Amino acid sequence: MRTSRLWTSSLLATLLVGLGGTLAAVPAAQADTVLPPLPTAPEGDVPGVNDWGCRPTAARPVPVVLVHGTFGDRRHLLERLSKAILATGSCLFSLDYGNRGTDDVVRAAGQLKTFVDKVRAATGAAKVSLVGHSQGGMMPRYYIKNLGGAAHVDDLVGIAPSNHGTRLIPSANPVAALVPGLICVSCNQQAWGSAFLRELNAGDETPGDVSYTQITSRYDEVVVPHTSGYLAPGPRTTNVTIQDKCRFTIAEHVLIPMDNAAIGMTLDALAHAGPADPSYQPRC
């Protein structure tokens, strides 16, 4: 039953993110959607996440903030990753933003900034590391580039990030013409060639003294092609596809945050200075 729900979520995400392909020229900032406030995680946090009394240690001095994707929330799909990060001894925090990530990405980045400021104030840490799934891997780049985040972020790990958007064919979505932008502003902004992404990716794609790790799946059915999640090569950038590490893994867009290789590469990125080691071999 759980697997069935995950695949249903995957199909929904594929359909709705694909709506963005019809409106590739939307402006970077616009009104929020017509959706009412949506529920997030009724069970609350994974135990240990959002412990505002947590203090970083000498071994793990940088708190970690998890950032969910479009239609996601601070808990679901991220439980296994949360437990793996907590097991390293890191302070771990996670937020809900943008009415399940459907609202304007610019507004969402402002919410991330506020949350990071709260984490830094509570923990006394100068910087945090950000780990995000899908939109959650891309949206923090707006915070880093435009909202002062470059001074406060150590690592950004994107798991199936929508850095350059999706090329999903609009004609495959028969409802696209009926609801353009009404239920998912951020979907439009994540379309390949959108005005938002052109602005975000103009100039230096990896600004600041931030380490960037992008983890993708060859079977991603939402961020298409999966290599659109990659960022420009550089000394602080690692781009990796999980099938190059674990040949037989079938994790796609929805399941990738739970994949052993994706979690292993994330933990490696957080364990040392710089991005994930491209030669690191995670457990498959």
In a domain, 68, yes or no: yes
The residue segments making up the domain with residue 253 are: 47-53+60-271
Residue 21 has a pLDDT of 33
Judged by DSSP in three states, 249 sits in coil
Residue 181 has a pLDDT of 65
In a domain, 13, yes or no: no
In a domain, 27, yes or no: no
pTM of the complete model: 0.87
Residue 188 has a pLDDT of 87
User: Looking at the DSSP assignment, which residues form a beta bridge with residue 251?
Assistant: none
Mean per-residue pLDDT for 160-189? Answer: 71
Q: Are strands 64-67 and 237-241 parallel, antiparallel or unpaired?
A: unpaired
Residue 24 tokens read as 């590739």
What does residue 157 show for φ and ψ, rounded to 5 degrees? -110, 115
Mean per-residue pLDDT for 273-278? Answer: 98
27 or 249, which is more confident: 249
In a domain, 26, yes or no: no
- CB distance 261 to 242 below 8 Å: yes
Binned at pLDDT 50, 70 and 90, residue 179 comes out as low
CATH code of the domain covering residue 138: 3.40.50.1820
Whether pLDDT at 22 is above 50: no
Total domains in the chain come to 1
Cα 137 to Cα 3, 120, 190, distances in angstroms: 24, 20, 12
12 or 257, which is more confident: 257
Whether pLDDT at 232 is above 70: yes
In a domain, 254, yes or no: yes
- Helix ranges (H only) for 124-173 are 135-146
Residue 97 tokens read as 């933003």
Whether pLDDT at 14 is above 80: no
Rounded Cα distance, 132 and 12, in Å? 20
How high is the mean pLDDT of the chain?
87
Whether pLDDT at 71 is above 90: yes
- CB distance 216 to 180 below 8 Å: no
Whether pLDDT at 122 is above 70: yes
In a domain, 1, yes or no: no
In a domain, 158, yes or no: yes
In a domain, 16, yes or no: no
